[in-house]
Amino acid sequence: MVFSLCPRARQRRKDARPGELMTAALEVFAERGFAATRLDEVAKRAGVSKGTIYLYFDSKEALFKAAVESAIIPALEAGEAIAADPAKSPGEALREFVFWWWEKVGSTDIGALPKLLVAEIGNFPELGIWFHENMIQRGKRAVVGIIARGVASGDFRPVEPLGVARIVFAMMFSYVLWRRALGAAMPDLPEPEDYFEQALDLLTHGLKRTPPCA
């Protein structure tokens, strides 16, 4: 008796399609931006027909949001775990969080999003609002937790945690924008490891509590 494996293979392929579409979409959005991305180009990159996209996503905006969430949420969860780890000192947690962000976000296709949003937020403000409220704010809360813990433990001097978290994200996003937008036109841009080490050195020494004079 001969058994056909085709139905099961087709089912596996169907189940895999949303993930393949989101991966392809993130690549195309990163390369072309939101406005210039065409759904037929995403479909071609994923190896499916354009109509297949509409089986899972009802618009380009829905596909964009799903692609960003699928890529960023696991990374955010890992960053939140770093920030909340009581075994790490506040200084260690802050350093690990910044380098984790570069490795899992800034240096990947996700790192194209700040440049994309800066370039297109005027025409698509709702996407910028959505990204800020659902992604940036979540990461910022993790950094706020690190800073607040450092202040409470006495490792850091009394500062306003949210203000410091904004500064941390400003340094991370500015580096990505420089690298993505200017690239070879900015030959003095340091390597990411050097840049973040220098930035963290300045930040953590500025945060450290000065021992009282004897």
State the pLDDT confidence band at 155, using cuts at 50, 70 and 90: very high
Q: How far apart are CA 89 and CA 110, in angstroms?
A: 28
Go through the domains of the chain in sequence order and give each one's CATH number: 8-207 (1.10.357.10)
> 174-178 long-range CB contacts below 8 Å, 24 or more apart?
175/106, 176/106, 176/111, 176/114, 176/115, 177/114, 177/115, 177/118
Q: How far apart are CA 77 and CA 96, in angstroms?
A: 14
pLDDT (0 to 100) of residue 211: 64
The whole-chain average pLDDT of the chain stands at 86
The 3-state DSSP class for residue 156 equals strand
State the pLDDT confidence band at 15, using cuts at 50, 70 and 90: very low
Q: Which of 22-36, 109-123, 153-167 has the highest mean pLDDT?
A: 153-167
Q: How far is CA 59 from CA 11, 21, 56, 116, 196, in A?
A: 24, 13, 9, 18, 38
Q: For 45-100, how does the pLDDT look when each residue is reduced to its tens digit (9 = 90+)?
A: 988 888 999 999 999 999 999 999 998 899 899 999 999 999 999 999 999 999 99
Q: For 163-187, how does the pLDDT look when each residue is reduced to its tens digit (9 = 90+)?
A: 999 999 999 999 998 888 888 888 8
The 3-state DSSP class for residue 138 equals helix
